[in-house]
């Protein structure tokens, strides 16, 4: 038995466009151990959400998804079928979407939206499904859960709707939970509550958690491991403390430098910004995608393959200049 809940190698997602093929995910390697929290972090448009959607099998049919290895919950899905993935969704892996307002159907009661899937998948009776829904709503902190089953999404606040989304994801008692920026639309206080809730649920239920975010503050609060994504690839992966203490990719350094430090960053001062723009991903790309924005880039950075260094067990960085950055 493997101790990995997720193990993928060389995941690629290509989307046809009028201008050519958009290679949005360009060979991603990801693994998550049982009970681990991996944060997938990077700026908007780097491929985080597409990676998660590909894992769930929810991309449109015109998207071309390939992988050398695709194992989830101990099952080999390299030659996956829609029916097999559909059977796993909810039971083995579930996803919390970033906008509960659009993810919840405004015309259906909360009770129906929570129970419909498990009644079909597990052949539960209405009474059994309602009992599980009440249990999950109570677990995520919704007061008087039995009475709330008959209410509609508009009767809940933004934070409550996000809690309902978490309850919905837990209805099938999954082993792996994917959370796609679950706190983006929430204020800071509610954001902290949702993060604390996810941590409690993980500890109580033994979940593995893939948390997608662009907020490094969220990463510091909840992550076990961090994978930094740029232009469709993982630039660096490390335990969270090691990443914050000693980032070894220039892109990671740029992200961390842009965070104000209380007591150290002068009030009103300009924060450092990463120069340049993210490269277009239509067509083929050679070398390091970050080279045009990197102060250390040299001629070798335009060549393939970009070397992968492993400075410590469980850590890697894809960069020609990793030794210089580390120094």
Mean pLDDT of the 52-77 span: 90
Strand-pairing partners, residue 309, are 317
- Check if the beta carbon of residue 236 is closer than 8 Å to that of residue 308: no
Lowest-pLDDT choice from 39-43, 180-184, 304-308: 180-184
Give the whole-angstrom CA distance, residue 294 versus residue 275. Answer: 8
Task: For 224, list phi and psi in degrees, rounded to 5.
Answer: -95, -50
Give the whole-angstrom CA distance, residue 42 versus residue 53. Answer: 16
Whether this model's pTM surpasses 0.85: yes
pLDDT above 70: residue 256 = yes
Strand-pairing partners, residue 232, are none
Lowest-pLDDT choice from 71-75, 127-131, 147-151, 277-281: 71-75
Q: Which helix (H) or strand (E) holds 113?
A: helix 110-122
Q: Give how far Cα 117 sits from Cα of 66, 121, 130, 170, Å.
A: 28, 6, 12, 11
Q: SS3 of 152, please?
A: coil
Query: How confident is the model over 214-231, as pLDDT tens digits?
Result: 888 889 888 999 999 999
Domains in the chain, please, with CATH? 4-87+212-263+272-326 (3.40.50.300)
- Check if the beta carbon of residue 123 is closer than 8 Å to that of residue 113: no
């Amino acid at each position: 038995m493997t101790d990995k809940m997720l193990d993928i190698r060389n995941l690629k997602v290509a989307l046809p466009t009028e201008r050519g093929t958009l290679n949005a995910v360009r060979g991603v390697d990801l693994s998550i151990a049982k009970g681990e929290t991996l944060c997938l972090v990077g700026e908007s448009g780097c491929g985080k959400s597409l990676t998660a959607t590909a894992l769930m099998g929810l991309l449109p049919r015109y998207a071309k998804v390939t992988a050398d290895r695709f194992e989830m919950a101990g099952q080999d899905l390299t030659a996956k079928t829609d029916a097999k993935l559909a059977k796993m969704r909810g039971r083995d892996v579930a996803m919390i979407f970033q906008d509960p307002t659009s993810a919840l159907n405004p015309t259906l009661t909360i009770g129906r939206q929570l129970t419909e899937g498990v009644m079909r998948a597990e052949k539960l009776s209405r009474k059994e499904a309602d009992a599980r829904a009440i249990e999950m709503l109570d677990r995520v902190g919704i007061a008087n859960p039995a009475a709330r089953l008959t209410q509609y999404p508009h009767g809940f606040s933004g934070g409550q709707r996000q809690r309902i989304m978490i309850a919905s994801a837990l209805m099938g008692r999954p082993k792996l939970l994917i959370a796609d920026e679950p706190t983006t639309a929430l204020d800071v206080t509610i954001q902290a509550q949702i993060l604390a809730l996810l941590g409690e649920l993980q500890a109580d239920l033994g979940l593995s958690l893939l948390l997608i975010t662009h907020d490094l503050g969220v990463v510091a609060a909840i992550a076990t491991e961090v994978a930094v994504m740029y232009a469709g690839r993982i630039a660096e992966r490390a335990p969270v403390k090691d990443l914050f203490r000693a980032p070894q990719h220039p892109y990671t350094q740029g992200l961390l430098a842009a965070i104000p430090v209380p007591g150290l960053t002068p009030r009103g001062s300009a924060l450092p910004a990463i120069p340049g723009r993210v490269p277009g991903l239509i067509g083929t790309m050679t070398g390091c995608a970050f080279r045009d924005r990197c102060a250390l880039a040299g001629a070798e950075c335009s060549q393939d393959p970009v070397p992968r260094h492993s400075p410590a067990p469980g850590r890697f960085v894809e960069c020609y200049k990793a030794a210089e950055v580390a120094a």
